Amino acid sequence: MLLFPFILLVSNLLLIRMVQAQRHYCLSEDLNPNMLFGSNTIYETTRGKVEHNLLPECEVKAIWTLVRVGSHYPRKSDFKMWEKMNEMKDVILSNHRTKARGSLCPRDLDALESWYPVLDITNENMLNKVGMSETTEIGKDLVKMYPKVFKNMSVPATVMYAYSSQNPAKQTAQVFLDGMRLAGSTARVINLGEFSALSVDQSCPKYKDFLTSPENLKESRMYKAQMEIKEMLKEVSHRLGYSYDLNFDVVFQMYKLCSFETGAYLGKISPWCAVFEKRHFKIFQNDEDINSYYTMGFGSTYAPRLGCPAIKNLFQILGEITKHTPDDPQVTVLFAHSNTLRFVLTALGIAWDSTILTARNVDVREDRMWNSSLMVPFSANLQVVLHKCQNYKVTFILNNYKVLYSTCNSTKCDWDVLRDEYEDIIDPLSCNFDFCSHQLNSIGHNTHVHFFVTLLVMFKIIW
């Protein structure tokens, strides 16, 4: 007879503890707030510490760099969605101040009350101030890392650049080159215009069909169905004073607004970030990693095929230089979006994990290589450098982190070894866009078993 009251008491105590825990976290009092938002992470938050030439004793003959676009304003559809947040803001304020529900601390609630949509729809997909600043600095950093290449008055380097057809790739290129000039670069600059290999996924019907296929969405749906997601939705809803659980799409828009506003204003965190506790951000990061792993990474047979044309460009350029060594260093800089960078990293075998990422293990795989916040933040960049030593050597740097090439057991590898490893992969007969209009024998997943299996253990990022 005493059992039911006891269970009720325990339930009430657990509820009180949950409310107290939610009340305990106050964003405005947090001296170390979350700044990781997957691919919407600001570059400076996660960049590495490599700021120098990895082989200073050798001569740099070529640099090939793929740069992701900088922090930018969102798409028009997001602007329209966020305009509705004013109504939601009023409900949250009413829940707290009229209905005595919700657990946002007073300062966070005041910050939310002062919020209004400040992102200008006319700036759709254009760089914001943070993106302009970071892209400029990355351009400067390239010159500082290789002063003998970019500040050589007697033998000036030649910089050739190209960009994808999607905004703000061209704008990112212009700002990056401005940064190089501000750092004192004397290089000749040649604009190659739009490069189709940087946006092949936009004109690939087979890939677009795959994105919405049940097979592709399987792991993502499994992750969203887990109890952890349901608990997060319940906690956020209770934190905001709702008497029912908000759905994932609504809460995700709050997260997206939080990340874009934080990425647009240096040193200022969006009031919408107060909606979440710190551990909730990890859930959204996991969700993006699962989704991208099976659409743009090692969980998809399409990803390496879509990245192959860009790495074919890389190996063709380096190969020509090793055969006909020019006096002036050759620099190629390509500008594209996060999906292209993911395709290229997958095609190269960078950020490969020996264990397949799934909805069941993503929470415990915190040390995984496939981590969007570290791999593809705004302004992410992959730098491949050809050095003339006694023989030709190649180094890889991703976001100022060294990349270890396992075959050479080093961050510095002989060109001949790399060339031989990739020779068959970049063959025009296999590295082309034909698959976009023809049925694949194995569409979708199982990259680990089928495609590029010889490459998938080649690179490890030294985070």
pLDDT digits (tens, 9 = 90+) for 210-266: 998 888 899 999 999 999 999 999 999 999 999 999 999 999 999 999 999 999 887
Residue 49 has pLDDT above 60, yes or no: yes
245 in Cβ contact with 233 (< 8 Å): yes
CB 363 within 8 A of CB 286: yes
- Coil vs helix vs strand at 245: coil
Task: Lowest mean pLDDT of 82-86, 128-132, 293-297, name the range.
Answer: 82-86
* Cα separations in angstroms, 78 against 74, 143, 261: 6, 36, 12
What is the structure's pLDDT at 366? 84
Angle CA 148–152–156, to nearest 5: 115
Residue 204 neighbours by CB distance under 10 Å: 18
Nearest in space to 317 (alpha carbons), one of 185, 422, 413, 202: 422
Give residue 401's pLDDT: 96
Question: Mean pLDDT of all residues in the chain?
Answer: 89
Q: Tell me what pLDDT residue 185 has.
A: 98
DSSP letters for 369-392:
S--HHHHS-TT-EEEEEEEESSSE
Cβ pair 358, 316 in contact under 8 A: no
Q: What residue ranges do the domains of the chain occupy? A: 42-74+128-208+292-461
Q: Which two tokens stand for residue 270?
A: 């969006």
The CATH classification number of 42-74+128-208+292-461 equals 3.40.50.1240
Mean pLDDT of 140-159: 95
Task: For Cα atoms 322, 173, 341, give the angle at the middle one, nearest 5 degrees.
Answer: 65
* pLDDT, tens only, 178-193: 999 999 999 999 999 9
Residue 259: the pLDDT is 96
pLDDT exceeds cutoff 60 at 29: yes
Q: What is the mean pLDDT of residues 419-439?
A: 83
Q: Could you give the angle at the alpha carbon of 232 between the alpha carbons of 231 and 235, nearest 5°?
A: 85
> Whole-angstrom Cα distance, residue 425 to residue 145?
31
How much is the pLDDT for 118? 74
Residue 136 has pLDDT above 60, yes or no: yes
> Does the pLDDT value for residue 447 go beyond 80?
no
The answer to whether the CB of 31 falls within 8 A of the CB of 358 is no
386 - beta bridge partners?
Answer: 62, 394
User: What per-residue confidence (pLDDT) applies to 12?
Assistant: 46
Instruction: Pinpoint the alpha helices (H) of 324-442.
Output: 338-348, 372-375, 415-422
The whole-number pLDDT of residue 257 equals 94
Across 20-129, the runs of DSSP E, i.e. the strands, are: 59-68
**Given pLDDT bands bounded at 50, 70 and 90, which one contains residue 84?**
confident
Locate 262 and state its tokens: 């934080």
* pLDDT attached to residue 439: 55
* DSSP one-letter string for 299-311: T-SHHHHHHHHHH
What's the pLDDT at 229? 96
Of 110, 33, 3, the residue nearest 273 (C-alpha): 33
Query: For 454, phi and psi rounded to 5 degrees?
Result: -75, -15
Q: How many CB atoms lie within 10 A of CB 456?
A: 19
| Cα distances (angstroms) measured from residue 398 to each of 299, 347, 428 | 21, 15, 27
